[in-house]
Amino acid sequence: GTSDNLSMNATLSYRLYNGGRDRAGLAAAEAGNTASLHEMEIVRSELGFAVVKTLFTIVQAGETLTARQAAIDAIDASLRAARARYEAGDLLRADLLSLEVHQSEARENLIRARHGLELAGQAFLNLLGLEKGPVTIAPESEIEHLAPPDLSFDQHPELKKLTAAIQAAEAEVRQAQGGYYPTADAFAGYQVDHGYEFDGSGNSWLAGVKVNFNLFAGRQTQAQVAAAKARLAEQKEQLRKLSLAINLQVEHARLALEEAQQRVLVTEKMVEQAEESASLSRERFKEGLVLSSELIDVEKRLTDARVRRTLALTAQKIAVADLRRALGLTQFDTAMQAGSAGTGS
């Protein structure tokens, strides 16, 4: 005879336990996301340092320009006195020409200083993502940039990033070790059997829990665990080396700050002495008691002292910024108002 059977089967399965691999995988993903966030902090820290460094470079260029302009003003005043003495027959033509040559040199230095200021402003705009526009620097008193009293770098974003990477590696070890454990699944199924020739049926259902255990996998799990532990050991060694490297950076920045502070004290005294010497020499030159060559040397020493002081002050500010960067700190303790330190448009 002839018979037939229509058979359909539907089964649902749910993993109850898989040796902790899913939970470990989730922990690894979360730690990886945390590491990515700290990577963003690192980028912002480097960008913040670059912006602050460029900002203080603009201040340095502006003060250098002021020093160069002051030198021109001083030599112009001396030239007026020299011409008066020359017309009175009290000064040689060679001395007058020497002062005029010095004036030309001072003007050349002024042009270079003005060009340096323009370049510093353009570099600042580039860091801000702007093509061109004026740059206005607020008064120095409004820029509060303090050296940190605590030199601890436990919260450095690079350390946080690598710590998160270690947590991810530890989770990967646990995930690999999950291969040593069995898995458990809950299941339920329903089967339909229907015959059209004899109009009979034998529907059935089945539900239960099953446990799977891999008796032999060719040491695959052991190899995966060993590889995960090796990656974890590598991350821990990188953390140790990074901690040493950051400590070296902090010490280097601290010594640079101390050096800059000492330079500021020395150059302040240097400027004070040079200004007094220049003032006396100018008066003596008007009276014909000092040669033009001596006056030129005095004016050069004064300008050099002022420029050195500017460089020392800028080095001190940049050293503070570098120390804050080395410690993993933001450049300013409190948020500044938009445009208070510098604006470009």
Query: How many other C-beta atoms can be found within 10 angstroms of the C-beta atom of residue 35?
Result: 18
Enter the tokens of residue 281: 């020499």
Which CATH number belongs to the domain containing residue 261 in this structure? 1.20.1600.10
Q: How many CB atoms neighbour CB 137 within 10 A?
A: 17
Specify if 1 maps to a domain: no
Nearest-angstrom CA–CA distance, 81 and 232: 78
Q: Is 9 domain-assigned?
A: no
Q: Please check whether residue 138 lies inside any domain of the structure.
A: yes
Are 27 and 171 a contacting pair, CB within 8 Å? yes
Q: What is the pTM of this model?
A: 0.74
State how many domains the chain has.
Answer: 1
Q: Is residue 248 part of a domain?
A: yes
Does 104 reside within a domain?
yes
Asked whether residue 45 is domain-assigned, the answer is: yes
Average pLDDT by stretches of 10, the chain with 345 residues: 74 88 90 91 89 89 90 86 82 83 89 91 87 74 70 90 93 90 91 73 86 84 92 94 94 94 94 91 82 84 91 92 90 54 43
Structural domain span for residue 131: 26-181+222-344
Within a domain: 318 = yes
213, part of any domain: no
